[in-house]
Structure 1
Amino acid sequence: MITGKTAPGPAHRTGAILAVLAEQASVTAQDLSRRTGIPVSAVYRHLGDLTQLGLVSPTRTRGRYCAGSLAVQMAVNYRREMLGGGEVKRRLARLASDTEELAAFLIPSGQHVLCVEAAEGSRVIKCSFSPGLSQPLTFGASAQAILAHLPDARVAEVCAAHRIGPAQAEALTADLPRIRDRGYAMSTGAVDEGVWGVSVPVLNRQGQLTGTVSTMAPEFRGRRNHQALLTLTHAAAQDIGRLEEPQP
């Protein structure tokens, strides 16, 4: 469930519905009610309004809904304004070419880590990160690189949202200061079995987190080439961070 109790007002309810639609390919009104705590009758009213706005669309399967056509325009504008009009994609492509592995740019989105851009290397790898897909903002190099730069209260919210027990939460938070100090996170098999990953946070001029650059490889290649992969990923993260600096 997106919230522990029914959302208090129309705007909050609309946001909760859109958040579920961002995570799921399609849903029913009953699915939305179950995930958000909003009564089914109210869900239908919100779906009607959102459909008129183009933010939601009925699918070809009766009774199911998905993101609407306006979401496409919003995605294009997001890429233009937040991803350097293609510069992030080009820098990831260069990283993927240099490493021959999968490169991705990920951001925190609610209680999840969302992949917003990726480039495949010459060595194909199967993993859970591709543009538009998200994973819980908990374990794994990408999630930990982000968590290390979030306030303690925000980290606690993430742990509570994913029902992480006290022992696991303590283990997770204990590593975060070390990850923040050294400037990267590494993991093996935390999200996908047999997949190694390194993730370097992208910081703006004020030192605030904007996302993270990750390189993913099969475990045997990642462990063998970890230093070179870290160096190349770190350089890409710095380059992407500089994209946000004002141009002279």
Structure 2
Amino acid sequence: MQQPIDAEAACEQLHESKGSSLERMLRILDLFTQQHPIWTVDGMSAALGYTRSSAYRYVRELTDANLLFQSEAGRYSLGARIITWDRQLRVSDPLVRAARSLEKMFPQWEGEQVWLVCRLFKDQVVCIHQTGSLADRVSYSRGSPRPLFMGATSKVILANMSSRQQSQLFLENPQEVATSNLGATWEQFRRSLQRLRRQGYVLSSGEVDVEVFGLAAPIFDSDSKVVGSISCVRPSSQRNSEHDEIQGQQMLTLADNLSQLMAALAYRPERLD
């Protein structure tokens, strides 16, 4: 006799076929943001379109792995393992260590300023180190992803990617490209990035945060592959365009020092402090 079809199980099997179980489980972690740090299982299920049984199973596995924590009955927050991983990155990432070591060498230009060191993770730029006195006027701090096509911090990375990477990003992100001020066509986009690459540093004003401008330079690994950037963000009212070139060259020198020290630390894993 034919067994009755379990509709929820069939739906779950269909969802699993559209993406690996691990990938679907990790999407739950992406739900936890500064604006929404606490979730119920039903809320996760509704937000991601998962069946309740799938959501409960994923949450149970993430909780067992200390990636989620049940802060109160039926409500979850990020777990202890993520905190320990963040500390591990702070003390072991060669770029973070290099930035901390060279902080005293950062130029101290007139007025307020905040320094951002960012890494490229696949096609996402994330701030991994921040220091300075302008933090309340900058929306991106450590751990925050930055738009890849907006702002000096990201554009200097984009300009130093390979032509193949740039072409792929251009095709996959038409809306972001349209608002990037880099050109509407591939030829315009390519030429804009070539110009920025030849200049070395990138300056932008008000693209990510209003009333501030940023000056950024690229950071490269030992294989001359761009891996991140260092940028200085200051109030637009304090910009003197006559100093742009001099300060841009200072940024390039600082970025080169960071690149060299990062490469050295990658082969020397012991801590500096």
Query: Given the two structures, how large is their TM-score scaled by the length of structure 2?
Result: 0.73
**How far apart, CA to CA, are the structure 1 residues paired with 2:69 and 2:35?**
13
Per-residue deviation at 1:91? 2.1
**Partner in structure 1 of residue 56 of structure 2:** 44
Is 2:193 the counterpart of 1:176? yes
**Partner in structure 2 of residue 117 of structure 1:** 129
Query: Counterparts in 2 of 1:29-40, with a 5 A limit?
Result: 29=41, 32-33=44-45, 36=48, 38-40=50-52
**Partner in structure 2 of residue 130 of structure 1:** 141
In the alignment, structure 2 segments of 5+ residues that lack a partner are: 1-14, 269-273
**Partner in structure 1 of residue 221 of structure 2:** 204
Q: Does the C-alpha gap of structure 1 residues 34 and 201 become closer, same or farther in structure 2, counting only changes over 3 Å?
A: farther
Say whether the 8 Å CA contact 1:147–1:155 is kept in structure 2: yes
Per-residue deviation at 1:143? 1.6
Say whether the 8 Å CA contact 1:89–1:118 is kept in structure 2: no
**Partner in structure 1 of residue 98 of structure 2:** 87
Structure 2 residue aligned with 1:70, among 81, 101, 111?
81
Per-residue deviation at 1:88? 1.4
**How far apart, CA to CA, are the structure 2 residues paired with 1:199 and 1:160?**
25
Q: Does the C-alpha gap of structure 1 residues 125 and 68 become closer, same or farther in structure 2, counting only changes over 3 Å?
A: closer
Q: Output the amino acid matched with 2:99.
A: V
Per-residue deviation at 1:135? 2.5
Identity rate, percent: 20
Say whether the 8 Å CA contact 1:138–1:159 is kept in structure 2: no
Say whether the 8 Å CA contact 2:113–2:132 is kept in structure 1: yes
**Partner in structure 2 of residue 12 of structure 1:** 23
Is 2:258 the counterpart of 1:240? yes
Q: Deviation string for 1:15-37 (max 9, x for gaps)?
A: 33334447765153466456655
User: What is the RMSD of the two structures over their aligned residues, measured on CA atoms?
Assistant: 3.4
Say whether the 8 Å CA contact 1:54–1:69 is kept in structure 2: yes
Say whether the 8 Å CA contact 1:215–1:229 is kept in structure 2: no
SS in 2 for 1:191: coil
Is 2:230 the counterpart of 1:219? no
SS in 2 for 1:220: helix
Say whether the 8 Å CA contact 1:102–1:125 is kept in structure 2: no
Q: Deviation string for 1:201-248 (max 9, x for gaps)?
A: 100121112211010001122344433432332222112111233469
Is 2:121 the counterpart of 1:103? no
Q: Output the amino acid matched with 2:257.
A: D
Aligned pair count reads: 242
Say whether the 8 Å CA contact 1:111–1:136 is kept in structure 2: no
**Partner in structure 1 of residue 7 of structure 2:** none
Q: Output the amino acid matched with 1:12.
A: E
Q: Output the amino acid matched with 1:237.
A: A
Q: Deviation string for 1:183-204 (max 9, x for gaps)?
A: 2221100001111001111001
SS in 2 for 1:119: strand
In the alignment, structure 1 segments of 5+ residues that lack a partner are: none
Say whether the 8 Å CA contact 2:38–2:75 is kept in structure 1: yes
**How far apart, CA to CA, are the structure 2 residues paired with 1:167 and 1:241?**
32
